[in-house]
Amino acid sequence: MNFKKTLRAGFFFSFLLLIFGVQPFWFANAWRHISVISQPSFKFALEMVWFAALFIVIGTSLRPIFGRLLPARGLGNWAAALTRVWLLASFCAFVAYQAVNLIGWIWGAAVPQVEASLHPAQPIAFHYAAFLAGCLPFVAATYGVAAGRLNYQIEKVTVPIAGLPSTLDGLRIAQLSDLHIGEFMPREEIARVVEMANHLKPDLAVITGDFINGEEDPLEDCIRELSRLRAPLGTWGCNGNHEIYAGAEEQAERLFEHYGMKLLRQENVELGWRGGKFNLIGVDYQRDRMTRGPYGRPLESIENLVRNDVPNVLLSHNPNSFPRAAELGIELSLAGHTHGGQVKVEIVDHEITPARLITDFVAGLYELPMKNGTGAARKAFLYVNRGLGTFGFPVRLGVPPEITLLTLRSA
């Protein structure tokens, strides 16, 4: 397991080096095209844009080392975010551009010169094909910023739980996660999400962490909007890693209580529905080796919160706590954290997404074997919500933001 995490970390940092390694290609080519412009005023304006772009890219890239060289809010925040979009898109564009050029070179080397002379347009065709291939990542990134990140989708999921009492059959849980309120997720968008969730008429509403990005974000605005969720069994939640980073875990707990909700922090509560009962557990973010700060065994010291006489539902932001939850006999875990990777590319039957660098549980429904008190084999389930907001860069491609409606069924 440690080797696997080390391999993921090594791949991640190698990928970062490659992203920054292609930047000289783009900036050198841009400068070369600017240098041949004859009109002095237009040439000077483009040179200033070139230097400004170079400063923003360097300033964003060196932030982990030297802190912020750009303002944290407003245009500075947008510049930094769009720079990260540029870095990813420019890398993909470089790969696509060079791949088509390589195919053209192989074609030129393989096809006899006599045959090539009969088709003089082929080299030009490869040139334009390489140009179009290089443009596609930028077009996709523009869509991801302008539309993809706000294209909320409702996912309806059935969870077949063995031994679920007939009285709980049909229980409907609405799950929201990773709202990340801020400049890229304004309060008005959260209000729209809440309205969509209310139309599903859930019996229980849960939020699995990451209400904010950082300490400067309006946590109370987020929780105030979430308090408009309507469910007979109430609205419950747990903290995410960004509440830890912002030092806002206690504040989030107080605001939940103030607005008539409950944030569960290493706590459980018994809830009843149509004569049946179940145990709802909530924990703060479970750290692991991919998280800043100390880490330990997931779900340490919560054994006393798990019950054997009624089904258990766990709210744990980090999906990596799922194997331990299955060991403890928790029938259903609800998580977020991954955002589904925010960007996903499907090649044949394989999905490529950055989220696989931190977890095996990227998005959707998962199951693991579970032992109950009699030793009989059963299944534990995990649902990983793709989240609503974004982090790092305000883009979603192939991973639309999600509102989940889970229906429990007796297996």
Q: What is the pLDDT of residue 232?
A: 98
What pLDDT does residue 4 have? Answer: 62
| Same domain? 83 vs 106 | yes
**Which of 92, 112, 146 represents a domain boundary (last residue)?**
146
Q: Within this chain, do residues 127 and 156 fall inside the same structural domain, yes or no?
A: no
Which segments of 152-275 are extended strands (E)?
A: 153-161, 172-176, 204-208, 235-238, 262-263, 267-273
Q: Structure pTM?
A: 0.83
Q: Is residue 68 pLDDT above 80, yes or no?
A: no
pLDDT at residue number 146: 80
Question: Are 137 and 158 in the same domain?
Answer: no
The rounded percent of the chain whose pLDDT value lies above 90 is: 56
Asked whether the predicted pLDDT for residue 293 surpasses 50, the reply is no
Where in the sequence is the domain holding 374, given as residue range(s)?
152-410
- Other beta carbons within 10 angstroms of residue 102's beta carbon come to 12
- Spatial strand order in the sheet of 402-410: 153-161, 402-410, 172-176, 204-208, 235-238, 262-263
Q: Could you give the number of structural domains in the chain?
A: 2
Q: How many angstroms separate the CA atoms of 407 and 314, rounded? A: 15
- pLDDT of 361 higher than 70: yes
Whether 372 and 329 have beta carbons less than 8 Å apart is answered as yes
What's the whole-number average pLDDT of the chain?
87
pLDDT confidence bin for 96, thresholds 50/70/90: confident
Which two tokens mark 210? Answer: 């990451």
Crossing angle for the helix pair 187-198 and 219-226, to the nearest 10 degrees: 20
Q: Are residues 325 and 226 in the same domain?
A: yes
CATH number at residue 357: 3.60.21
69 and 216 co-located in one domain:
no
* Per-residue model confidence as pLDDT tens digits over 278-290: 999 999 999 875 4
Q: Are residues 80 and 126 both part of a single domain?
A: yes
CB 236 within 8 A of CB 315: yes
Higher pLDDT, 143 or 364: 364
What does DSSP assign to residue 2?
Answer: H
Residues 86 and 171 in one domain: no
Domain identity same for 206 and 273: yes
Average pLDDT over residues 110-134: 67
Same domain, 254 and 312: yes
pLDDT tens digits, 191-226: 999 999 999 999 999 999 999 998 989 999 999 999
The predicted structure's pLDDT at residue 140: 86
Q: Which of 11-20, 50-59, 68-77 has the lowest mean pLDDT?
A: 68-77
Residue 318 and residue 397 in one domain = yes
The pLDDT score that the predictor gives to residue 292 is: 46
